[in-house]
């Protein structure tokens, strides 16, 4: 499965000071990270499903979105220990999922990076990406790798700005679509 994200912190200019940051200071809200609670898992699955499908405009699309959410809930329940949720005052803003074994030896695999639409371009994605780096180091990995749709120009620019380089291209097992394989040394 390729990395899924709808993060758009990059490419189109930057805010003077992000309203969300780790640690926080001077009007910046403090982001806290942790494992998802049992109550948050369905919300994370729904957030993911909404982002990988277009907004449901028909009953058939709504049913597909709901099926995606159910499937992701099952996966997230199994991957719970590999998910880090970004919160402010107990409210979920986004999440990241890291796996110790990816498509490249000794590289942690960044599978998901999802930020709520209303929280984008405010530093949440950048903080989640930093958290992903930290998680990969905790796994004793030498690099962090991800797959990304090359047509998602904002995401490609975002991860390049964060130090990722394209190391190859491959076809998605699920869809057959071309994905860039991008890596960042830790």
What are the tens digits of pLDDT across the range 14-32? 333 456 656 555 556 789 9
Mean pLDDT of 156-162: 95
At residue 27, the pLDDT reads 57
Closest CA to 7 of 123, 120, 162: 120
Q: What pLDDT, on a 0 to 100 scale, did the predictor assign at position 70?
A: 86
Predicted pLDDT at 1:
35
Model confidence at 54, pLDDT cuts 50, 70, 90, reads low
165-171 vs 143-148, strand pairing mode? unpaired
Full-model pTM: 0.80
91-112: burial string, b at 16+ Cβ within 10 Å, e else: ebbbbbbbbeebebeebbbbbb
């Amino acid at each position: 499965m390729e990395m899924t994200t709808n993060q758009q912190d990059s490419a189109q200019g930057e805010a003077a000071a992000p309203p969300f940051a780790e640690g926080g200071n001077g009007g910046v809200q403090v982001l806290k990270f942790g494992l998802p609670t049992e109550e948050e898992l369905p919300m994370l699955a729904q957030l993911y499903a909404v982002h990988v499908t277009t907004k449901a405009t028909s009953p058939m699309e709504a049913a597909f979105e709901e099926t995606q959410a159910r499937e992701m809930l099952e996966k997230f329940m199994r991957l719970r220990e590999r998910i880090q949720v970004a919160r402010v005052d107990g409210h979920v803003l986004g999440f990241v999922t890291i796996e110790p074994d990816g498509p490249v030896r000794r590289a942690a695999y960044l599978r998901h990076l999802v930020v709520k639409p209303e929280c984008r371009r405010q530093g949440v994605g950048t903080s989640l990406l930093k958290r992903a780096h930290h998680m990969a180091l905790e796994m004793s990995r030498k690099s962090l790798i991800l797959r990304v749709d090359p047509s998602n120009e904002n995401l490609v620019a975002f991860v390049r700005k964060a130090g990722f380089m394209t190391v190859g291209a491959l076809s998605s097992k699920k869809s057959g679509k071309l994905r860039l394989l991008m890596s960042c040394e830790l």
